[in-house]
Structure 1
Amino acid sequence: MTTPLTTTSVPDLAPLLRGAIDLERTAHGVLPHRLPARARAQCADPQLAMVEAQPAGVRLVFHTAATVVELDTLPTKRHYAGSPPRPDGVYELLVDGRLAAEATAVGGHTLVVDLATGTTEHRPGSPVTLRFAGLPARPKRVEIWLPHNETTELVALRADAPVAPADDGGRPVWLHHGSSISQGSNATRPTGTWPAVAAALGGVELVNLGLGGGALLDPFTARALRDTPADRISVKIGINVVNADLMRLRAFGPAVHGFLDMIRDGHPTTPLLVVSPLLCPIHEDTPGPCAFDMAALAAGRAAFRATGDPGEVAAGRLTLTVIRDELARIVGERAATDPHLHHLDGRALYGEADAAELPLPDNLHPDPATHHRIGERFAHHAFADGGPLAVNGTPTAAR
């Protein structure tokens, strides 16, 4: 017979949530957002609306002596018409920082996307209950990490002992913005995305504003970074600007300056690390736009290809090589008057030797093992003593 559980109602979940920028009350519960309502109102892009509502880095954190915890959620699954079903998102439960259990929510809403026509169909579903049992019968810190790639409404939390918000242990808050790689694309679990790996190794509290396809130097994203409390900040810029074929070199430089200016309006002396793109062979010297490889999709495999003309780089079309040079120049010039600004060439996290050993499976995103490697390297570079975002000791001078 199941032991009756005490109930923590949905309104009480807000103090337990970490990593969300905003909470939207829905008919079922609460939906965590990673961009504030003001930003969401300023962009009608359905891709951005989808990814910012996917709770990468968002987790429930609480103290309890419970041996059983139940979480009711209402996920929204994506399904691409004509392609194999995507894996269900993973929920991970950690006890005192160690993985104790994981689960998937089978059910919920489904969003069917037709890549050929650009149309979508929403198929409604019902909430799902996840049950985590056999937890140690002692006071402990529990974290439930939500799927990084699956929109998740939180409906209810129940436990067989009282639940109370946990403090952050005095750890600094690291605010990171980047593309789908930063959100965790191709990682298979939420604590396996490279920012989550780096945060665990660096001893920091993660707020992940990695937005798949949405790292486009948008002013509303810069304002979100400006207004979010943080002790350390990093921004990874470049790949989405290229694969969206969003702008030319003339616009890129001023856009970067404006983006950094906006962040500095709210964080004038916070250590800020600008990271240029990881190696991505299809876009190193070939401009965007990037497109799905339809032949690969027909064969049941997701892959991407660059469709731009390398001959147009001289006219201002952007490649990753061009962007890396421009970011190094901009940060170098700004660092003369901003000693807390730093630069990192993304190829130090994933470069040519890594691509030979661990090639990008879809030509654009790293696999789980590569996410872990990138996270380890970022933590070693950024958070170690003397690093630009050092947690202990003094950060190094701008580089």
Structure 2
Amino acid sequence: GKVKLQQNPGKFDELDMSPGDPKWLDVIERDLHRQFPFHEMFVSRGGHGQQDLFRVLKAYTLYRPEEGYCQAQAPIAAVLLMHMPAEQAFWCLVQVCEKYLPGYYSEKLEAIQLDGEILFSLLQKVSPVAHKHLSRQKIDPLLYMTEWFMCAFARTLPWSSVLRVWDMFFCEGVKIIFRVGLVLLKHALGSPEKLKACQGQYETIEQLRSLSPKIMQEAFLVQEVIELPVTERQIEREHLIQLRRWQETRGELECRSLPRMHGAKAILDAEPGPRPALQPSPSIRLPPDAALLSSKAKPHKQAQKEQKRTKTSAQLDKSPGLSQATVVTAAGDACPPQGVSPKDPVPQDPTPQNLACHHSQESLTSQESEDTYL
């Protein structure tokens, strides 16, 4: 999104100031309060969160008038607005709709139908039990995967899991969306015990709508997604197979969307022409002459320090030294008493009282040590 922003400076402001199509504006207005109604950004009608959401969605209808507005774009834009300003959120939404999930939000939703068939075919390899059950119940993939894929699980998973899934999705592309869907299907319908409560279509759909919190928990889900062996090559190969079947049974696709890009690196490499290098923007900016001022200030500070040292040494030279009397007095304190030779030890009085005291100290110490170790 940042590359798009740099390539189109002022474009969002131009779209923001333009009047939108009343047909889309009315639908967008009705959807604003439905997006994360308990989040502080969108809790109040007419608040800054809802205003920015309206601006982003309206700008997209003007940027792609042939597509207009799709309700599944609102939760995508809302999550983006929680992490960035409106202009950046708009260009990220453009990249999601054009590069990550192209054709998902077109009028007839042909791309999401095609990906539903791809998901169902991959499920046969990941969980034959779940695939067989859904085939027996004749449940179309659109009945359970449309909201998953079009909203990128923003309205399905717990918030911590949504953030982890989106991180991987932006880095690695749509294969993460397929993997998450396959993991949910595998753990919701992948064993005979879990299928006991799914005797019909209604029970099966309800099982997929009310997923177990355990399989949606962040640590469990992310680990399962990482370990699931579904690659970009498998998805693209299955895409060609399903596209051929679509053309044989329904004819050509009406939606001519751009090729799908798998991850941020592929999208960045596919950008046409020279693009400016992404530079980090520092949060603290210094004036241009800041370095010059600091370099000039250093000699001045050093001169002040040297001046202080000179004054200190001069004061020490002027201060009187130790007097002879002071030296004699200090030396006299260290002299032995008169009548006692320096080599002779000072006599001690070995009285029984001293011995008793000494003995009592040893006893007390040993008693304390015993108490301590006990």
TM-score under structure 2 length normalisation: 0.28
Q: Quick check: which one's helix share is greater?
A: 2
Q: Which has the larger strand fraction? A: 1
